[in-house]
């Protein structure tokens, strides 16, 4: 999958672009019909159409060269492609690690040896990763360019590291991978024209692999094939993918003042790979959120699916994440081998009824069968079958209406192409189908994503601060949210109030801000005040209230698990740097 606009040279089409942009600017109302009419009057190369990303690049080029002195925002927002991508307040930059042996043996997991475990080569993000041979610098920089070329701001980036079990990769590879992501952010500017790095990328092109895992026979497993590949490679390849902690720290410091700042870093791992020492190491990388595969809260179902850990491991891992301040993004799967629709709903209820879990974010991945999964054999023996569409819709309807308002449901299905699915859900807009069923039944979904302010304007005088408290495995959690009269959420903060001693000296007696998020279309750092929720001081107000709550609860220190790119913001609010966290002394006035 080619990213947008890499090879376009606006200077080649200067005359056409001047005429085209002038007409677009002169439109009294912008709609698809009038836009297409303008495109037809100003064809590219005499016959084709200019893409929106090319027109945006042309506007920026001409605005500089011809000194128009125009504010690009109105024009860019008129043309912006896929505005939903940054309406949550940040630009997500998803980067995949290389294929590598996985400690799991889950029977439902795809085993495409061209990809890191559990991912398929036809998935959009996976195609981008393979195009760049899993090089983190080129993946990151090309994604930033795509956003920029299609009209999105990228000065606030959430870097999402995907690929099997992060904790199973060698530490030197992890450090190198994260450092190169930071290098890409640090090197980006609006004038960047090429995504490619001069640093050598991995010489092996996994797209050329012919051998694939056959889920019907499982004669050669994913781990066996991938391990064989690495044994055949020149050892110097791995030396190119190594870095040390000092070099990473320098890249992180540089990012604090870069144009594209990392305001969140996400990794994914398994519950049985997450002890306290591992969580602190991940934190040192700069991570602020962990995606963790719960999959099921039934020991029986976990065992039948050869998950490799029990529910107790999930409890321990969740407690560790809470102690260390991470945002917890859980994955949960209905329709696993050995479950039923009724059992799935009961299982889902435990996610939030049990204080040991209660994740901050959630992905629901109904089990879909692909050729490379061991589940293929179970399906052929008629030991497992997918739910009917009505059964799956019923399960998801029951689940979505049970999600509390402090949790954000980010996904309802995996982004697996229908051509890869042997049996299982192939409806790409399944969430819309389920939400329609919820409305039909007179119910509602109150998770965060269902209530985000998105592109709507915000009037500060009409916002109300709501406080919600709930118990967790380590103490008490306070969820603060600014909402409109229509219950649309404009900003929120997660505050952890541990009830006992935490086994980490730096935060042994600290309250912890785990997340501050302000919604609305992503605005640039330093943009003037207006109706955008990101520039009404909502984050500052939430942090002030968190200081008050923590002080009232008897804490003398308020820590925050800040991202690298948000460190300067917290320093301005009086926080000081610690080894892994930033701190505010509550013994002095807020």
Answer for the pair 415, 427: CB distance below 8 angstroms, yes or no: no
Q: What distance in Å separates the CA atoms of residue 558 and residue 582, rounded to the nearest whole number?
A: 8
| Residue pLDDT, tens place only, 266-305 | 999 999 989 999 999 999 999 999 999 999 999 999 999 9
| Residue pLDDT, tens place only, 134-175 | 999 999 998 998 888 877 788 999 999 998 899 999 999 999
Structure-token pair, residue 165: 């079990």
* CA separation, residue 411 to residues 66, 236, 333, 428, 430 (Å): 44, 39, 12, 11, 10
In the chain, which segments carry CATH 3.40.630.30?
452-585
Cβ-based neighbour number of residue 112 at 10 Å: 25
Cα-Cα-Cα-Cα dihedral of 310, 315, 320, 322, to 10°? 150
State residue 524's pLDDT score.
39
Question: Phi and psi for 468 in degrees, rounded to 5?
Answer: -125, 130
State residue 21's pLDDT score.
75
3-state secondary structure of 181: helix
State residue 347's pLDDT score.
98
| Residue pLDDT, tens place only, 175-209 | 999 999 999 999 998 776 555 565 555 567 788 88
DSSP H helix total and E strand total for the chain: 20, 16
State residue 218's pLDDT score.
78
Strand partners, 328: 290
DSSP string spanning 432-447? HHHHHHHHHTT----S
Cβ-based neighbour number of residue 210 at 10 Å: 5
- Rounded to the nearest angstrom, the gap between the alpha carbon of residue 539 and the centroid of all alpha carbons in its chain is 20
Report the candidate in 78, 94, 105 with the shortest Cα–Cα distance to residue 127: 94
State residue 2's pLDDT score.
46
pTM of the model: 0.86
Report the candidate in 78, 54, 59 with the shortest Cα–Cα distance to residue 70: 59
Report the candidate in 590, 427, 479, 457 with the shortest Cα–Cα distance to residue 529: 457
Sign, Cα dihedral of 352, 354, 358, 364: negative
Report the candidate in 474, 167, 514 with the shortest Cα–Cα distance to residue 316: 474
Helix H or strand E segment including 546: helix 538-552
**Residue 12 neighbours by CB under 8 Å, 6+ apart:** none
Task: Kindly state the DSSP code that residue 576 receives in the 8-state scheme.
Answer: E
All residue ranges of the chain with pLDDT < 50 are: 1-2, 4-5, 81, 84-87, 521-534, 590
CATH topology of domain 452-585: Aminopeptidase (3.40.630)
């Amino acid at each position: 999958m080619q990213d947008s606009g890499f090879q376009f040279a606006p200077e080649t089409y200067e005359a056409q672009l001047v005429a085209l942009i002038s007409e677009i600017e002169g439109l009294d109302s912008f709609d698809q019909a009038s836009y297409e009419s303008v495109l037809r009057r100003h064809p590219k190369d005499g016959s084709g159409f200019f893409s929106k990303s090319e027109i945006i690049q042309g506007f920026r080029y001409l605005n500089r060269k011809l000194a128009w002195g125009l504010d690009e925002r109105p024009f860019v927002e008129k043309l912006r492609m896929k505005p939903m991508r940054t309406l949550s307040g940040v630009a997500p930059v998803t980067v995949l690690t290389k294929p590598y042996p996985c400690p799991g043996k889950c029977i439902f997991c795809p085993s495409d040896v061209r990809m890191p475990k559990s991912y398929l080569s036809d998935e959009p993000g996976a195609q981008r990763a393979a195009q760049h041979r899993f090089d983190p610098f080129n993946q990151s920089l090309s994604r930033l360019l795509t956003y920029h070329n299609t009209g999105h701001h990228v000065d606030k980036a959430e870097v999402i590291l995907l690929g099997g079990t992060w904790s199973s990769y060698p530490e030197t590879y992890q450090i190198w991978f994260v450092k190169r992501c930071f290098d890409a952010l640090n090197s980006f500017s609006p004038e960047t024209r090429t995504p490619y790095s001069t640093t050598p990328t991995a010489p092996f092109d996994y797209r050329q692999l012919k051998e694939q895992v056959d889920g019907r026979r499982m004669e050669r497993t994913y781990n066996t094939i991938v391990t064989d590949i690495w044994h055949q490679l020149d050892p110097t390849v791995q030396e190119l993918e190594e870095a040390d902690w000092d070099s990473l720290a320098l890249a992180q410091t540089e990012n604090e003042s870069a144009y594209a700042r990392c305001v969140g870093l996400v990794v994914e791992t398994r519950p049985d790979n997450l002890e306290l020492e591992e969580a602190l190491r991940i934190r040192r990388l700069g991570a602020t959120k962990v995606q963790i595969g719960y999959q099921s809260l039934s020991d029986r179902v976990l065992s039948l699916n050869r998950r490799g850990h029990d529910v107790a491991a999930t409890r321990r891992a969740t407690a560790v994440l809470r102690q260390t301040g991470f945002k917890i993004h859980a994955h949960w799967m209905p329709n696993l081998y050995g479950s039923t629709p009724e059992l799935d709903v009961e299982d889902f209820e435990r996610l939030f009824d049990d204080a040991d879990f209660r994740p901050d974010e959630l992905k629901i991945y109904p089990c879909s069968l692909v050729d490379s999964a061991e589940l293929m054999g179970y399906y052929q023996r008629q030991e497992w079958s997918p739910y009917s569409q009505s059964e799956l819709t019923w399960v998801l309807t029951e689940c979505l209406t049970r999600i509390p308002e402090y949790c954000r449901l980010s996904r309802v299905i995996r982004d697996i192409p229908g051509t890869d699915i042997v049996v299982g859900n192939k409806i790409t807009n399944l969430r819309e189908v389920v939400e329609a069923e919820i409305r039909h039944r007179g119910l509602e979904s109150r998770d965060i994503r269902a209530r985000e302010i998105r592109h709507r304007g915000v009037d500060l005088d009409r916002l109300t601060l709501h406080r919600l408290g709930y118990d967790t495995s380590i103490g008490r959690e306070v969820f603060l949210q600014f909402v409109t009269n229509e219950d649309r959420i404009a900003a929120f903060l997660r505050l952890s109030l541990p009830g006992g001693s935490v086994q980490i000296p730096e935060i042994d007696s600290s309250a912890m801000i785990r997340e501050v998020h302000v919604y609305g279309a992503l605005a640039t750092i330093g943009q003037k005040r207006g109706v955008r929720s990101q520039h009404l001081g909502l984050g500052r107000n939430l942090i002030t209230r968190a200081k008050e709550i923590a002080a009232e609860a008897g804490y003398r220190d308020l820590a925050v698990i800040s991202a690298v790119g948000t460190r300067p913001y917290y320093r301005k609010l009086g926080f000081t740097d610690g080894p892994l966290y930033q701190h505010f002394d509550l013994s002095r006035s807020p």
